[in-house]
Amino acid sequence: MSVVTCQLSVSLDGYVAGPDQSRQDPLGRGGLRLHEWLFAADRWREQHGRAGGEPGVDSQVVDEVTRGVGAYVMGRRMFGGGEGAWDESWRGWWGEEPPFRTPVFVLTRHPRRSLPMAGGTEFHFVTDGIRSALEQARAAAGDREVAVAGGASAVRQYLGAGLVDTLQLHIVPVVLGAGEPLFAGLTDLRLEQTRVVAGPTVTHVTYRVLR
C-alpha cells in the first residue's frame, strides 16, 4: 500500500505561515521567508515553469519529495482560496499547467466535477472526509507515494488521525512568533528521526511517524 508522506517548511517556533494570512497574502507576514530556499532551487523552478535557480542539495531534496509521488491530497484553500471561489469556472491558482502532474484530491464541502488540467494534473473534489480522500488517492497512486500537500489544517488532520507515515520538515532559521502553527493539537505525535540533510541555509529532517 502507498506510503503517505508529508513535507513542509517550518519556522524554528513551529509555524508554517506567518500572522495575518489573507487571500492576497496566503503565507502571512514573514511567511515567504520559509520558502526562499525552495524558490531558489532550480528543480522547483523547472517544475513551476521558471528559469534559473541553483542546483545542489536543496534541489535534490525537491526532486526526491516529488519524484515518487503518485497522487496528492490537499485542502481547499491550497487548491484555490476560500469558499467564495467555488464556482465551476474557477480553476484554482496553480495556472493551466499545475506542477503536480498526477491526480490531486481536494478536500472540500462543495461537490464539483473533476477538473483535468494540462500536464497530467487532474483535480478531484472529495466531500466525504479525509479518509475517503486518502483511499481515493491510494487507489490512484498504485504503489507510488501519496503526498499530503497542505495546507497546515489538512496536514494536522492527517497527522492527528495517524494516517501519515513520514514527515519531512525543512527547518528554516526564521522566528515568526505567530501565524499558522503546524503542531497545534498534536502533542501525542510520536516521531523518530530517520534522516538529516544539511542544505546551505535550511536543514531537511525526515521523521517516521510512530503508531
Q: Which residues bind a second copy (CB under 8 A)?
A: 10-14, 30, 169, 171, 173-177, 181-187, 189, 191-193, 196, 198, 200-203, 205, 207
Residue 11's SS3 state is strand
Q: How many CB atoms lie within 10 A of CB 173?
A: 10
State the Cα–Cα distance between residues 163 and 149, nearest whole angstrom. 14
Q: What is the end-to-end Cα distance of the chain in Å, rounded?
A: 17
CB of 196 to a second copy, least distance (A): 4
Q: Nearer to a second copy by C-beta: 114 or 201?
A: 201
Q: Nearer to a second copy by C-beta: 7 or 11?
A: 11
- Quick check: bond before 49 cis, omega within 30? no
Q: Nearer to a second copy by C-beta: 13 or 143?
A: 13
Question: C-alpha cell of 109?
Answer: 464541502
CB of 32 to a second copy, least distance (A): 14
CB of 169 to a second copy, least distance (A): 7
Q: Nearer to a second copy by C-beta: 112 or 208?
A: 208
Q: Strand locations in 18-164, DSSP E? A: 69-75, 103-107, 115-116, 122-126, 145-150
What single string gives the DSSP state of each residue in 188-209?
Answer: T--EEEEEEEE-SSSEEEEEEE
CB of 26 to a second copy, least distance (A): 19
CB of 192 to a second copy, least distance (A): 7
CB of 36 to a second copy, least distance (A): 12
Residue 35 CB burial class (10 angstroms; 0-12, 13-18, ≥19) = middle
Q: Nearer to a second copy by C-beta: 73 or 176?
A: 176
State the Cα–Cα distance between residues 126 and 123, nearest whole angstrom. 10
- Chain Cα centroid distance, residue 123: 15
Q: Nearer to a second copy by C-beta: 39 or 111?
A: 39
